[in-house]
Amino acid sequence: MIRLLLGALLWVCASISWAQVLDFSEAETRAILRHGPWPSPWSPDPTNRVSGNPAAIELGERLFFEPRLSPSGKVLCATCHAPFRGWQDGRARAFGLAETDRNTQSLFNVRNNRWFGWDGAGDSLWAQSVRPILEAREMGGSQAEAAALIRRDPELSCRFEKTFGAPPPADDEGVFAGIGKALAAFQETIVSGRTPFDDFRDALEKGDRQAAARYPLAAQRGLKLFVGRGNCSACHFGPAFTNGEFHDTGVPFFLKGGADPGRHGGLKKLQANAFNLLGAHNDDRSGSSAVKTRQVAIEHRNFGEFKVPSLRNVAQTAPYMHNGSLATLAEVVRHYSEINPDRLHAEGESLLKPLHLSAGEAADLVAFLESLSETSSALPPRLPSTACR
């Protein structure tokens, strides 16, 4: 009798845990598996000869926290990209020496990007990394002042030499490119950790339903919407939840006295930038890394397009969108639910239709987005810093 009861109890428990995995179709399962594995493989950046170099990482870390890169002495990279706030600032629009027009992007997994900035004005991590030093509203510096700092500070010039194998050169542009490459090497270490979603995805791949059942049902329902009716995966694609491209999602892009041209303006800036991959500072002599930059063409439809952000750790990086206009994930989901197709540009974003989600469905989608938060940090432990030489 007791054995019978125990057996029944076991059966009930087993069927409860079985019941906790939703029925995902084959197509849904394939779509879910494409969002992993995590962490995704990475190899050093061929356009940056010090990518992955420990001396460069250490110099880059110092420069990231160096207020003297701004002649004001008041603004450093970490002012806006605060490590404890998901490498951003929690503000709608970034504020350095003055308020800017855009939201600070998080730096999680920035090494995976193909284009940089909300508008893709950067084609390498190192070129993007020197941009804020020159911006009047961000750090308000110049190439000459940044290069002079490296040459005059014994610690920085020693680390520069250790990194590049030669002391800082006489030309300011050469030193400035080196600053960008060291900053890039440091930022390549900013990788986000494993999430509840990743555990679910891997369990699904292995067919381990018991492990899969640990993933909350609300998140599973939200995931079903994400890869299914919501069509979110079309743009928030792959392990980092971005296709790396630019789209118009109907977020208003008007500014005081004008409009943010988005990708349209970004391409113009990219072509005019001496640090783009077609320029002299690209370390990839094969020329293959510059192909994407040579091939871009500015089209009218690029007006109002912004980069598809990664959604890893997205719950840590409110507020949202290129102008920080949406305060919470619930507001973002409402935006997609009620999207007005007339607001999308003429070519039309056939990928986006108003979803008219119920309150429960909207909450499920938020629960899914929250499950993309790391459960432990993947940042390498920082070694105690010793003086150079």
Residue 162 amino acid letter: K
Instruction: Please give the Cα distance from 28 to 32 (Å, whole number).
Output: 6
User: Of these, 21, 31, 55, 110, which contacts ligand HEC (CB under 6 A)?
Assistant: 110
Q: Which lies closer to ligand HEC via its Cβ, residue 119 or residue 198? A: 119
Give min distance, CB of 96 to ligand HEC, in A. Answer: 3
Neighbours of 248 (CB within 10 A): 21
Q: Please, which of residues 220-249 interact with ligand HEC by CB under 6 A?
A: 230-232, 234-236, 247, 249
Contacts with ligand HEC, 250-289, as mask; x by CB under 6 A: -x--------------------------------------
242 half-sphere exposure, CB direction, 13 A CA radius:
23
Q: What share of the chain is helix, strand, coil (3-state, %, to 5)?
A: 45, 5, 50
Contact between 81 and ligand HEC per CB under 6 A? yes
Nearer to ligand HEC, 77 or 203 (CB): 77
Size of the site for ligand HEC (CB under 6 A): 56
Binding ligand HEC (rule: CB under 6 A), the pick from 21, 75, 156, 240 is 75
Please give the backbone phi and psi of residue 384, each rounded to the nearest 5 degrees, phi first.
-60, 135
From CA 208, how far away is CA 17, in angstroms rounded? 11
User: Quick check: 176 binds ligand HEC (CB under 6 A)?
Assistant: no
Q: Residue 225 is encoded by which pair of tokens?
A: 């919407």
Name which position in 181, 267, 306, 372 contacts ligand HEC (CB under 6 A): 306
170 burial via Cβ count (<10 Å: 0-12, 13-18, 19+): exposed
Decide: is 92 part of the binding site for ligand HEC (CB under 6 A): no
Span 323-382, contacts to ligand HEC by CB under 6 A? 329, 332-333, 336, 349, 351-352, 365, 369
Q: d(Cα 105, Cα 323) in Å, to the nearest integer?
A: 10
Nearer to ligand HEC, 177 or 333 (CB): 333
Tokens in use for 162? 């250790």
H helix or E strand, kind and range, residue 259: strand 258-259
Q: Are 151 and 44 in contact (CB under 8 A)?
A: no
Q: Which residues contact ligand HEC (rule: CB under 6 A)?
A: 64, 69, 75, 77, 79-81, 94, 96, 100, 102, 104-105, 107, 110, 113, 116-119, 125, 128-129, 132-133, 138-139, 183, 187, 230-232, 234-236, 247, 249, 251, 306, 308-309, 311, 314, 317, 320-322, 329, 332-333, 336, 349, 351-352, 365, 369
